[in-house]
A and B are shown apart, each in its own frame.
Chain A
Amino acid sequence: KAGVTQTPRYLIKTRGQQVTLSCSPISGHRSVSWYQQTPGQGLQFLFEYFSETQRNKGNFPGRFSGRQFSNSRSEMNVSTLELGDSALYLCASSLVAGGPSTTNTGELFFGEGSRLTVL
């Protein structure tokens, strides 16, 4: 079974540009979450999508947006890039959306991430 696939793996942009990152979840997984990882702040939650609907959003400015398609693939977009947006962006998928239970481990399956450098 293929894992979570993120593209591109590495990219370099300049301030003011925009970027789109893609995430293909594990087949059958309908929930996709995005996290930003930086050395200083650690892992911070961006947003979560389930069945093409954003159900939860972290404390990030409106420049960060996302969407999910009917096949559960997700994209996130960052507009008007700033130097501080340089980070590893991680996508994670999970089987169900109802949270952990005796039948659902609540485990997230992560991709390898997209490393964004803003110059």
Chain B
Amino acid sequence: AQTVTQSQPEMSVQEAETVTLSCTYDTSENNYYLFWYKQPPSRQMILVIRQEAYKQQNATENRFSVNFQKAAKSFSLKISDSQLGDTAMYFCAFIHYSGAGSYQLTFGKGTKLSVIP
């Protein structure tokens, strides 16, 4: 079974500081994709960053970057220069083939990040 584990239910960071959110996953597949999604309070979930497992280079999107360790099945998210608008639930997700041409996202339980002024 595919599982995604986020071991930090809640975290806080001072504005302008850097924070790292942890994620580990379990899969027997070799080619797959990992995502970090952000869900601000009472707002819709949006994609933050995406990583293809076949790429060794870590993905970056402006202030957001990942540390992808394929052998360790680890996929952490680093947020640099934290801003108040980064306050949100962050979900790590893993996409996998579930049969009949269908792909399914499995999510971790989320990390609630609070950015403190």
- Report how many residues on chain A are interfacial, defined by Cβ distance under 8 Å: 26
Within 8 A of B (CB), among A80-119: 90, 92, 97-100, 105-108, 110-113
- A28 at interface by CB-CB < 8 Å: no
- Which residue from B46, B97, B106 sits with its C-beta under 8 Å from A110? B46
Contact B106 A45 (CB under 8 A): yes
Contact A45 B104 (CB under 8 A): yes
A105 to B103 CA separation, bound complex (whole angstroms): 12
Q: Which residues of A contact B33 (CB under 8 A)?
A: 100, 106
Contact A108 B50 (CB under 8 A): no
Closest Cβ–Cβ distance, residue A116 to chain B (whole Å)? 15
Contact A42 B108 (CB under 8 A): yes
The segment from A16-24, A48-56, A64-72 found at the interface with B is A48-56
- Which residue from B45, B91, B102, B109 sits with its C-beta under 8 Å from A97? B102
Q: Which residues of A contact B108 (CB under 8 A)?
A: 42
- A78 at interface by CB-CB < 8 Å: no
The dominant DSSP class at the B interface is: strand
Contact A111 B44, CB 8 Å, known A42-B109, A106-B95: yes
Contact B106 A48 (CB under 8 A): no
Write the residues of chain A forming the contact surface with B, with a CB cutoff of 8 angstroms: 3-4, 33, 35, 41-43, 45, 48, 50, 55-56, 90, 92, 97-100, 105-108, 110-113
Cβ contacts A to B, 29 pairs, < 8 Å: A4-B44, A42-B91, A42-B107, A42-B109, A42-B110, A43-B107, A45-B106, A50-B101, A55-B100, A56-B99, A97-B101, A97-B102, A98-B101, A99-B103, A100-B33, A100-B52, A100-B103, A105-B50, A106-B35, A106-B50, A106-B103, A108-B47, A108-B105, A110-B37, A110-B45, A111-B44, A112-B43, A112-B44, A113-B44
Write the residues of chain B forming the contact surface with A, with a CB cutoff of 8 angstroms: 33, 35, 37, 43-47, 50, 52, 91, 95, 97-110
